[in-house]
């Protein structure tokens, strides 16, 4: 469950940053973001737990630089949120390895993901409302939100099955 959530959050983070920079006309930067995102995904496969901690700084720098140059804020915010979540998940997966067997690890994992989902939902709702008020709401943002909601619903259905 953690691994799937980690892979999804890395993918969404890199995709959101790449799309935000692509929309602003920075195609080369967008390609580099995708390449680094693929390396970040591979780091999960190779179990390089330190890589998520390393990637949080470039992710926040991408968001900050993008805001400075007035790139699409919603994409930068989404990229930063999912990068932070990937970092939290990576750290959490290391911490639960040392917990005794009597601990409710599955419950702790569900609660962590639920807290993040609620926080992200509120944040994405505020961003969507701001985009709507500024008349900047676009179809690609709707697709992104739909995929995010679909991912969350699939996660909930997966929990219900177990």
Range of the domain at 149: 2-161
pLDDT digit string, tens, across residues 16-68:
999 999 999 999 999 999 999 999 999 988 988 889 889 999 999 999 999 89
Q: Where are the alpha helices (DSSP H) in 24-138?
A: 27-45, 50-68, 73-96, 105-133
Cα dihedral 107/123/73/63 (nearest 10) = -40
Structural domain count of the chain: 1
**What pLDDT shows up at residue 113?**
80
Task: Classify residue 28 by burial, with Cβ atoms within 10 Å: 0-12, 13-18, 19+.
Answer: exposed
Give the range with max mean pLDDT: 48-52, 98-102, 153-157: 48-52
Identify the pLDDT of residue 162.
67
Predicted confidence (pLDDT) per residue in 118-145, tens digit: 888 888 888 888 888 888 788 888 888 8
Mean pLDDT on 3-25: 92
């Amino acid at each position: 469950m953690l691994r799937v959530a980690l892979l999804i959050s890395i993918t969404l983070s890199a995709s959101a940053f790449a799309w935000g920079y692509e929309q602003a006309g920075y195609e080369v930067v967008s390609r580099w973001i995708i390449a680094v995102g693929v390396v970040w995904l591979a780091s999960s496969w190779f179990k390089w737990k330190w890589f998520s901690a390393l990637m949080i700084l470039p992710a926040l720098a991408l968001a900050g630089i993008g805001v400075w140059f007035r790139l699409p804020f919603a994409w930068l915010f989404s990229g930063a949120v999912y990068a932070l979540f990937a970092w939290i998940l990576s750290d959490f997966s290391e911490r639960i390895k040392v917990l005794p067997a009597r601990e409710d690890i599955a419950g702790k994992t569900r609660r962590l993901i639920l807290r993040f989902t609620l926080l992200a939902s509120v944040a994405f709702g505020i961003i969507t409302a701001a985009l709507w008020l500024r008349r900047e709401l676009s179809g690609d943002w709707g697709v992104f939100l739909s995929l995010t909601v679909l991912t969350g619903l699939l996660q909930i259905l997966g929990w219900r099955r177990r």
